[in-house]
Amino acid sequence: MADSDIYMQAHDAADANGLVSLPDSENQVKILLTTLPARDNAPTTGLDLDTDDYTECLFLDDAIRDKIVKTPNFPQSVPHVIEKLFRIGSSPGKGLGMFATQDIEMGDFIHAARPLIIVPVKFVKEWHIFQEKLLFLCIKRLSLEGQVAFMNLTHSHIPMNGCDRNHQIKAIISTNGFGMNIFYEPESDSCTYSAVYKDISRINHSCSPNVQIIFDVPSFSCQLRAVRPIKKDTEFTIQYTDIFQSYEERKKALVPYQIECTCMSCSNPKESNQFREELRQAVDVKALRGSWLADTSLPGDLIVEHCSGWIRKLDQWGLQSLERYRYYLWYAYTAAVALGDAELAHKFGTNFARRLLVDLPQDQGVDTIKIYSDRDKCRKEPGWRIRGERTV
């Protein structure tokens, strides 16, 4: 246990000013306030004390912390780009946002950072005085710079279950927190966590996002990559909702953020709803490819044209962040390999590699582009020319 760890039982939950009684329903909760990575271990783990930040965590028990610190290679330093690729600036009608400082390609690594804080989502959604005090204590553990960065984040000021706008900490977390999908506590049905960042939390919403984030446990950092080419001075956007949802469902989900989305999908609700439904009902391309390989009477370009059509539509609606986009690129590549079309395989393979980078931590995608940029790679695939030369 690090010197800065604080354990509290339900009846002992305390802030800087004294003890707080918890509701009866919380009597068995053991709460842990801890810093990750542990500051007292930094000199022996190779962390860069000048550039790597720390995260203040509020966990419902120590199981999550133990799982994190036992992750292979934890803690690694946060990956950094040589030249900063973003700036924080004014976004009309949205407050501040994050913008590209140069042209960026699909799959490019843009930025990585550790959260300022990680807290249970239930502490934000529910309203108990002890939860507010624990959140306050978590913020107080931040450095002065971290506290200022947190309090400067915008919040929606919408009352939450009796919590009015004066409870700024909860409002900031509610507006700026990103759900953490790496933490699982099977014994609890309401134990997901939310992370708040200094800069990444400035990224605004779009139902046609141009960047994607993943959380890398070894470096304990959120990593940002482009899901399509982005021009200099373009604002980065991510989705706050399930972009597979209908326009009506997305609009409802954005109400707590006071967002009126004007992306292409929301500006054309009828057409975008229809496209999403078509996408949901789309033929399983894996099964279609199996039939195509087995039945040589089917057109030679069937899979390539099928995948290319969906890729064009996803490009049109700005939905490259969907896994479907990566799948269509992959199956188009394998079809080109089966046809013995090296040029086409190189085209789809390179794009597949760039899209694959979006879903990988920075240290796992180093060789991906290099591998698929090799024009002879496709000729070495087991399925090379199993469908014969390409004929249209």
CATH of the domain at 214: 2.170.270.10
Higher pLDDT, 29 or 218: 218
Whether 58 and 128 share a structural domain: yes
* Average pLDDT score over the chain: 85
The Cα 121–Cα 238 span in angstroms is: 20
180 in Cβ contact with 192 (< 8 Å): yes
Does residue 13 belong to any structural domain of this protein?
Answer: yes
391 falls within a domain: no
159 and 181 within one domain: yes
Angle between helices 302-316 and 323-339 (to 10 degrees): 150
Q: Whole-angstrom Cα distance, residue 248 to residue 258?
A: 15
Q: Is residue 264 part of a domain?
A: no
User: Can you give the pTM of this predicted structure?
Assistant: 0.86
Do both 297 and 168 map to the same domain?
no
Q: Do residues 320 and 341 share a domain? A: yes
Q: State the average pLDDT over residues 149-166.
A: 64
CA distances from 292 to 288, 297, 330, 335, 342 (A): 6, 8, 16, 9, 19
Lowest-confidence segment of 25-29, 111-115, 252-256 by average pLDDT: 25-29
What total number of domains does the chain contain? 3
Residue 355 lies in domain: 282-380
Kindly state whether residues 327 and 222 are assigned to the same domain: no
pLDDT in tens, 334-365: 999 999 999 999 999 999 999 999 998 877 77
Pairing of strands 221-226, 86-91: unpaired
Contacts of 125 (CB under 8 A, 6+ apart): 160, 161, 174
Last residue of a domain, one of 209, 239, 269: 239
CA distance 322 to 314: 9
* Together in a domain, 13 and 63: yes
Closest Cα partner for 375 from 332, 348, 346? Answer: 346
Would you say residue 232 lies in a domain?
Answer: yes
Considering the domain architecture, whether residues 185 and 307 belong to the same structural domain is answered as no
d(CA 96, CA 153): 9
Name the burial class of residue 100, with classes exposed (0-12), middle (13-18) and buried (19+) by CB atoms within 10 angstroms of its CB: buried
For residue 313 the two structure tokens come to 């539509």
* Same-domain pairing of 48 and 138: yes
Same domain, 32 and 82: no
pLDDT of amino acid 13? 46
Residue 202 has phi, psi (to 5 degrees) of -80, -15
Same domain, 120 and 107: no
| Residue 165 pLDDT greater than 50, yes or no | no
Taking alpha carbons only, the member of 72, 87, 65 closest to residue 363 is: 72
- Tell me what pLDDT residue 183 has: 63
CA torsion sign for 44, 50, 53, 54 is: positive
Euclidean distance between CA atoms 115 and 183, whole angstroms? 14
Whether 37 is covered by a domain: the verdict is yes
Task: Judge if 202 and 300 occupy the same domain.
Answer: no
Domain boundary among 190, 219, 247: 190
Which stretch of 129-138, 231-240, 253-262, 317-326 has the lowest confidence by average pLDDT?
A: 129-138
- Residue ending a domain, among 221, 239, 257, is 239
**pLDDT (0 to 100) of residue 10:** 45
96 and 178 fall within a common domain: no
pLDDT confidence tier of residue 6, bands split at 50, 70 and 90: low
* 254 is a domain residue: no
Average pLDDT rounded to a whole number, residues 117-131 = 82
pLDDT in tens, 24-76: 444 456 788 999 998 765 544 455 544 458 999 999 878 888 999 999 999 99
